[in-house]
A and B are shown apart, each in its own frame.
Chain A
Amino acid sequence: MRPANDVHGRDPGASRLLAKSDLVSWIRRLMDDAEVIAPATGAGGDLMFAPVSDPEAVWLGPGNPLQPPKQYVLPQTDPIVRIERNGGGVQVSSISDERTRVIFGMRSCDARGMAYLRRMQATDLPDDAYLRRADRVTVVTLACTTPCTLGFCVCCDAGPFARDGHDVQLVDLGDRFLAEGATERGRAMVAEAPFRPATQVDVVKRDELEREAERHFGDESAHLGAAMRRISTRRVAEELWEAMSPWCFECGGCNFICPTCYCFSVKDRCQDHGWERCRTWDSCQYSAFTLEASGHNPRERRKDRIKRRFFHKVSAQYYQRDGAVGCVGCGRCVQTCLGTTDMPAVVAAIRKGVWHG
């Protein structure tokens, strides 16, 4: 007989324990069947999601790589179709990435990003190339018991503990991890040794850690709800967008670094005997992003592009359609923005109605 679910609706049987001393051997076992991607300190001291060659080098300490793991489901340059000359005609064949991957040590913000991307790619006209790759990715998250410096995931309901987008969530309990299987695949991964059943004490400890982590954010938050109300009821003055405009340098970094941005362009890469049609990241902040074949550009002015970005990210219209705001509160745009038009700064400006640069 299955045990009753706890007050959070969780199945206590889904919570398992992994001794920290068993972590490396578990990663090594995962590496037998899949390419394991995890944060590690790379060149220049930068933390990056990279294929693991040495499980000892996997970094599960504080901090999150500046570049999200998005590139492993949506690469910056992604060949989709091969076009080859074939006698007088051409032959077209699809290119698929069949690599089985485990992304290990992802944080809740990025897991929410993955869930968001999947929803976008799976609805309306499902994107087969995306889904085939993403279906082969297993996500093992590490809950943030200590919030990062720039993140504001609590404002986006995207952390500090994962709610969706993951198969397994690890929670650091000191000398052991609590491992929560969130999907069939995840539960199977933690079902056998070296995992063992968690006790009620472990689960209580986990909940305390989550509440403690949320408390760390204090009263400061990005107030996305307030911004949403203003932006969705047209209560943001045009002058505000105009005032922001010179503070954006159109680098596109906010899009490229964002776990939920997925807009792309299509470009043909020349090969020896033909071409590869590639999906490449694009930025809605670039002036030619909306340039039409007629020459008309509905968002020629920078202020209109900034306005559009934030309308998509935080308006009620998109919230209703997507079921989430288009921001996971990872805080990366704060660091990577070449100007000052990052998410918290713009949301604050929308809420207060003034822009200070």
Chain B
Amino acid sequence: MTTVLTTCPFCTCGCGLHLQADHGHLIGSAPSEHHPVGQGKLCARGWHAHEAPTWGQRLTRPLLRRGGEQVEASWAEAVDEVFRGLSGVLAAGDSVGVLGSARATNEENFLAVKLVRGALQTGNVDFCLRAGLQPVVDGIAEVTGDPWPPGRLLDLERSEVILLFEGNLAETHPRAASLVAAAVKRGARLVTVGWHRTHMSRLAARHLPVDSGAGYEVITGFLAAVLSGDQEAGTGTVTPDPGSEALRASLAGLSVDDPVREAATWYASAARASIVVSEGALLPDEARNGAAALAMLAAVTGHLGRAGSALLLLPSRGNQRGALEVGVRPDALPGGLPFDDEVMIAKLRRHWSREPSLVTGLDAEAMVAGCRGLVVVAEDLPAVIQAGRAGLDVLANHRFVVVLDSFATATARAAHAVLPVAAFGETDGTTTSLDGRVQRVRACVSPPGIARPGWQVLAELISRFGLPCTYGSIGDLHREMTDLVPLFAEIGEGQLDESWGALVSRPATGPEVRLRAVDLGRRDPVEGPCAAVFDEAFDWGSDPSVVHAPTLCRDHVARRKLFPTGFVEMNKVDADRLGVKPGWAVRLTSKHGEVTVPVVVSGEVAPGMARLPFSARDRVGVVLGGRGRAGVRVERV
């Protein structure tokens, strides 16, 4: 039996675990007792991390489309065909795009950037889940100057007050939820803000129920309360500036409910207080303003940058922060640096021996819709784009689609060339946690068939497109990344070889906090007797690394096992009104369409709401018309 220490690949908490293998198969996962985040704990996903690559339908050999069929090929044939296919698209004057992924390692994502900006000389590089994350990151950066403000996950445990804006923290980020629970046990006041009664709301001193996605209104209420002057507005100090006056003025006259006012007082007067915001807690159109308002709330109360007080943004999927940091975005260089950063450009030029492309490219949605050539690195489009499975139809318009993946996903089946790459547990690399720990993932077993580590495949593709790219080991690649990725530059020599990796410290936020007026414009009301919404959180039930893992996709969540093609969750009050019992079918009708699904009665969902699983949006998404929520009529069938 062999054991390696690695980092959990699922949510962004970044717990350490020992993967176990016997006879070349992954057979178990166990928590790392001394890991700084996990501390001997794992969630259900972590305990079954070994299942995903073991049970998934794996790609073992390169596949090339011949007629309507995908046939096996050698690596040399496959790489040649990819070169010819994409070159053909470029020669015809059409564009090629590359999709990185929150499921890929930092090394794979970095090489995706190198492929685009170095080899293909374009700017079309992005990952699908960036769309939800970027506005939140931008909103925070607008105020603090740093998209990832200081504060660690472990700060939660010692916070006296925690404001939690969540989708469903216990489901999406169980380790973070466990730290919040530990704080509550120590006497902390937890305030949950959300539209349904989640697991965490049952631990809360106060739950502030809001209409779907109306977290922003509560945030502005908090701000108004702490700035209203009828109480001491925080214990911190803020440099007076015009923005501060504008902020006050914009909130003047805003009426604030007493429960919000009281919770705001708790937060402002605590010595250590944290804000936790899940990426999905804010509707897309208010995400940036909401995140900025949260950062201002932390700033005006003196909690921003204070030791023990954290402002934590929780991305939904494994390595989203890492993908952003290494530059998987069409509008910036690695580290989010602008295209006129001469120092970075000089470094890129030196390492790549050519001029890097400095153009703003297409974003992921536009690439899927508008490019004629596409390279997809470790992503299954139906799992990560709003359109769900319909997004695959668009791929038929592409002249050449290349998919690098470990699993035979729907996207891989639609590709012209499929390059099989190693999965979690089979490759070395790093991932970045939500609080900036760059941690090691390690190979415990070999990939199946002739599949190869993704970073090696990408390096070969880059070389094939004329940019010499050979690394003797992943250490060589790290040396290049240390120079080109700002977060990696802060990692000490040899730190990545050590047991977990590196905790990268960022400078505490200085006095450059920028306050501004908040926009109080209200959202359009939902038409209809019932508001249907997706489960806000990215749902693991649609992720290829989970959907194949038997414990994770079926046994852990009973309702998913019972209703694999989708369901709707409703409050018992609504179910009784309709005269339906659990499992009975109801028809949901909106102006976008209709769908008939079985009912799951849930106390978490408020009366008048209907919650649809993100993972089944292929089937149920039609009523939402590609949006996050819609008014619906519900009838018993």
Q: Footprint of B on A, CB under 8 Å?
A: 42-48, 50-51, 65-67, 71-72, 75-78, 245-247, 249-253, 256, 265, 267, 269-270, 280, 282-283, 286-289, 291, 295, 297, 300, 335-340, 356-357
Contacts and interface: CB of A to CB of B under 8 A. Distances in A.
Nearest to A255: B47
Interface in B130-183: 170, 174-175, 177-178, 181-182
A267 B555 CA distance: 11
Contacts of B39: 335
A338 B42 contact: yes
Contacts of A269: 25, 54-55
Interface stretch (B14-22, B226-234, B387-395): B14-22
Contacts of A44: 5, 16, 32-35, 499-500
Given A246-B203, A249-B177, A338-B178, A46 B33 contact: yes
Interface string B553-588: 011111101100000000000000000000100000
Contacts of A76: 20, 27-29, 50
A71 B203 CA distance: 35
Interface of B: 1, 3-5, 16, 18, 20, 22, 25-35, 39-44, 46-47, 50, 54-55, 57, 170, 174-175, 177-178, 181-182, 184-185, 199-200, 202-203, 499-500, 550-551, 554-559, 561-562, 583
B1 A45 contact: no
Q: Max chain B CB contacts within 10 Å: which of A48, A245, A251?
A: A251
A66 B47 contact: no
A295 B559 CA distance: 9
B174 A357 contact: no
Contacts of A270: 55, 57
B185 A280 contact: no
15 contacts: A44-B5, A44-B499, A46-B32, A46-B34, A50-B1, A51-B1, A77-B26, A245-B202, A249-B43, A287-B558, A288-B555, A289-B555, A335-B40, A336-B31, A340-B181
Given A44-B32, A45-B499, A246-B203, 11 more contacts: A42-B5, A43-B5, A67-B18, A76-B29, A249-B177, A253-B41, A265-B551, A280-B550, A289-B555, A336-B31, A338-B174
Given A42-B18, A48-B18, A251-B174, A340 B35 contact: no
A287 B3 contact: no
Given A252-B44, A289-B555, A357 B184 contact: yes
Contact of B499 (A43, A65, A336): A43
Contacts, number: 152
Contacts of B558: 287-288, 291, 297, 300
A44 B570 CA distance: 46
A65 B430 CA distance: 27
B181 to A, nearest CB: 6
A283 B178 CA distance: 19
A42 B42 contact: no
A280 B552 CA distance: 13
B445 to A, nearest CB: 12
Contact of B47 (A256, A291, A337, A357): A256
Which 10 pairs of residues, A with B, have the shortest CB-CB distance?
A76-B28, A43-B5, A246-B202, A77-B27, A288-B558, A44-B499, A287-B558, A66-B33, A338-B178, A67-B30
A115 B123 CA distance: 63
Contacts of A336: 31, 40-42
A117 B475 CA distance: 45
A280 B184 contact: no
A286 B561 contact: no
A269 B54 CA distance: 8
Nearest to A287: B558
Chain B contact residues: helix, strand, loop or mixed: mixed
Contacts of B31: 66-67, 253, 336
Contact of A251 (B3, B44, B54): B44
Nearest to B198: A246
Contact of B550 (A43, A47, A267): A267
A87 B94 CA distance: 51
Nearest to B41: A338
Contact of B3 (A43, A265, A297): A43
Contacts of A338: 41-43, 174-175, 177-178
A287 B556 contact: yes
Contacts of A246: 199-200, 202-203
B413 to A, nearest CB: 17
A48 B1 CA distance: 12
Contact of B42 (A251, A286, A291, A300): A251
A247 B181 contact: yes
B562 A291 contact: yes
Contacts of B499: 43-45
A270 B242 CA distance: 65
B217 to A, nearest CB: 26
A339 B178 contact: yes
A26 B5 CA distance: 30
Contacts of A72: 1
Nearest to B5: A43
Contacts of A75: 22, 27-28
A76 B28 CA distance: 5
Contacts of A335: 33, 39-41
A343 to B, nearest CB: 15
Nearest to A43: B5
A77 B25 contact: yes
Contacts of A249: 43, 170, 174, 177-178, 181, 199
B557 A337 contact: no
A75 B20 CA distance: 10
Residue from the set B16, B47, B178, B557 with the largest chain A CB neighbour count within 10 Å: B47
Given A77-B28, A249-B174, A66 B561 contact: no
B1, B39, B182 pick with most chain A CB within 10 angstroms: B1
Given A287-B556, A287-B558, A339 B3 contact: no
Nearest to A78: B27
A252 B47 contact: yes
Contacts of B20: 71, 76
A51 B20 CA distance: 12
Given A77-B50, A336-B41, A46 B562 contact: no
Nearest to B201: A246
B3 A47 contact: no
B169 to A, nearest CB: 10
